[in-house]
Amino acid sequence: MRFVVDLLYLLAGLAISPMVLYRVIRHGRYRTGWGQRFGKISRKSPQKKCIWLHAVSVGEVNAAKTLIKELENRFPDFEIIISTTTDTGFAQANALFGHDFQVFYFPLDLSWVMHRAFNNIRPAVCLLMELEVWPNFVQIAKQLNVPVIVINGRISDRGFSKYKKIKPLAKTIFRKVGLVLAQTNEYAQRFKELGCPDEKVVVTGSLKYDTAQITDKVEDTDALAAQLFGKSEIRNLKSEIFLWVAGATGNDEEKILLEVYRDLKQQKQFSDLRLAIIPRKPERFNEVAQLIKETGFLLIRYSQIKKLAPETTEKSSIVNRQSSIVILGDTMGDLRKFYSLATVIFVGRSLVPMGGSDMMEAAALGKCTIFGPYTFNFQQTVDALLAGNGAIMVKDKEDLLRTMQKCLLEPAYADKIARNGQQVIQKNQGATTKSLEQISRFLCV
């Protein structure tokens, strides 16, 4: 079986190699970590037993924050190591956990690479965030009697459809998983249909609710307010500045948002509205910057303002410039600060069929949150927010324009949506505790 899987991987690797090479040259991706990807992995405390947690990208890394903290507190005799797949996921994991834990790139799922990785790591348990069940990985873990636990488990509509097409192979893989901690009953049923025994699937809720910090203000938001608006405090900013933040946006979506912004700016009552766009992928910053200029707006790149000395921010702030400007959030790690300043938030990759982005952060900050109809990657969150009247889904560009007008003209309505959103997030918290209880069964032996 492993020879067949390895052969398929090699053929797939040859097929996608031109795309990978293009991304290496054009966008600077995949240039580091190749030793780790081939299983050359070291540990900081090899004398300890090991918990290996894998989180693919930024979203999964962020969702693991509370769980990792509790694991560290509950099991100090274990070393926690964290792997990721993407460059952005690695950067985020390194920023959050690199000081205390070993962070590395997930090895390629070739049998000999995985054998090498397991020999170097010697994990006592493997925790996979959401759905990273690789054939050789679970096979080798099974052979070595290392439990594999899927944490925060979910299978999207699209993913479930793909798995059903290879159901015999999927069943072979999933029946080797020791435990699945699913976000919802629907996801739990999907895991069971794909081969996980009923007794090995438990519904614990979504960890992302626990990591979504319910607060009215994010650390260092005052500094952002000073840089953008020449204000050292944000107490009275709401009544003075109307900021629409479009976060984690995707291809072809910014054009729609800019057209809606242009239509709003043509109405006198919205003349003071400002727009900040923060694309999800850093490699698209320049592309979006060019689009903003081509649309006729003055472009302000936050990366340039961020470098200025504090005494110059008042002169450079956007309130002292013409109102028809768009701020491009072209830095990493500042999205929540922008959200904290927002009057209204649009969560991106949802007006185009890309599956949406995480809307929990926006709702947890007590902001009026809007997203489009393409949110299949966050269906459970969407259902919960809409059921609790804690967010607004728009159908298209025209619907977004009408909704923005209503939210800006009727602040009481927008505030109610924001308060409801926070309550929905709070109501759904608790997955960390439930997950920890289940994981402890495998560690307290």
Higher pLDDT among residues 296 and 237, named by residue: 296
Is residue 123 pLDDT above 50, yes or no?
yes
Q: What is the mean pLDDT of the chain?
A: 90
**What whole-number percentage of the chain has pLDDT above 70?**
90
Confidence label for 186 from pLDDT (cuts 50, 70 and 90) = very high
Contacts of residue 312, Cβ cutoff 8 Å, sequence gap at least 6: none
| Residue 350's pLDDT band (cuts 50, 70, 90) | very high
Task: Report pLDDT for 325.
Answer: 86
pTM: 0.81
Task: Please say whether the beta carbons of 417 and 392 come within 8 A.
Answer: yes
Who contacts 230 (Cβ-Cβ below 8 Å, separation ≥6)? 313, 314, 315, 317, 319, 320
Task: Evaluate whether 68 touches 82 at the Cβ level (below 8 Å).
Answer: yes
Quick check: 284 pLDDT over 90?
A: yes
Q: Residue 216 — φ and ψ, nearest 5°?
A: -100, -5
* Structural domains for the chain: 24-205+430-443 (3.40.50.11720), 221-427 (3.40.50.2000)
What confidence score (pLDDT) does residue 366 get? 95
Q: How confident is the model at residue 115 (pLDDT cuts 50, 70, 90)?
A: very high
Residue 200, Cβ density class (10 Å: 0-12 exposed, 13-18 middle, ≥19 buried): middle
User: Residue 293: which residues within 8 A CB-CB, separation 6 or more?
Assistant: 299
pLDDT at residue number 235: 46
pLDDT tier for residue 59 given thresholds of 50, 70 and 90: confident
Reply yes or no on whether the pLDDT at 291 is more than 90.
yes
Higher pLDDT: 16 or 91? It is 91
Q: What is the pLDDT of residues 382-427, one digit of tens each?
A: 999 999 999 999 999 999 999 999 999 999 999 999 999 999 999 9
Give the SS3 label for residue 153.
Answer: strand
* Most confident by average pLDDT, 64-73, 164-173, 302-311: 64-73
Can you give the pLDDT at residue 6? 67
Confidence of residue 233 (pLDDT cuts 50, 70, 90): very low
Mean pLDDT computed over 187-215: 94
* pLDDT at 101 (0 to 100): 96
Mean pLDDT of 131-156: 93
